Structure 1
């Protein structure tokens, strides 16, 4: 009986630790998109998660390890959102729906839960290898998702168009967020959307 109780207590502790870990990662995933990698400090993350600074090292070996997990979560959320849009569309309309969602005004304004590539692109090259590896994997995943929407998927042309499409999507979103002129922000989004939806693409 005592062994069962001890095991049950240990399982409860492990589950609580896992839940706490997940909470920290979720907070950090939002924070890196909001404030960038360099603007995301351990103390701030722990405070936002409702924990003490000292508890950090029972969950992560280093700040870089936390950032890598946060980037992984941010990328997974972004990929899932894009895949969800695609899954809900009839064949032939998924690409247009994905572009509409990605280059929407709502996405420009929703930095904390939006695309980590646009939020963190310029900082990523200066991050630790494990963080860059996460970004690289996500970029490849997004290129593949875009290419799969092409009628000639599997051909070199579809892959190359996917490279250009993703670059245009991310670049347009990044610039639309960067400017302080709402008209220019809308113009950047809308021009990219028209270009990507043109019959030649």
Structure 2
């Protein structure tokens, strides 16, 4: 997008603040449904940052895949589970929280150091690419062909594994046992009434 420098800075600040706030809400809120909705907000903020970088295809893929598929799937899974048990506090939970805080602060410091130490090349000329889809397609089928094919094979294996796990196989032994149990539990009429109904002259004899 060809935006003014001030508009880009303000948009970047708003999107970054939205992403950080949503990410903190995902981690800190105890309600899982609210965390899932805030995760969608973080994904949408990332899509806005991609738009500022003139990566329109990556932004649309971010919204369609992560917000429209992954996040909706997470919300459906949370609502279908419907766990009504009360939350039981974990003993000595402060140790885990402290370790998590130390790891998060360390990662934040590492990323901040990398951002400050990297010589970012800022050009004054506004160069807008002709089409990000064409560039991504060229990179997929030239430089990143092997990782792209490996990811395709991995997704195919995951799809086949999901089909195998979801398919219900009837083993012969179990099937025979179930049939015998079903035959034993079927309601039957008394044999006297059956014989009397089928052969009325048998009782007279």
Q: So what's the TM-score if we normalise by structure 1? A: 0.26
Larger radius of gyration: 2
Greater RCO (Cα-Cα under 8 Å, separation 6 or more): 1
Q: So what's the TM-score if we normalise by structure 2? A: 0.25
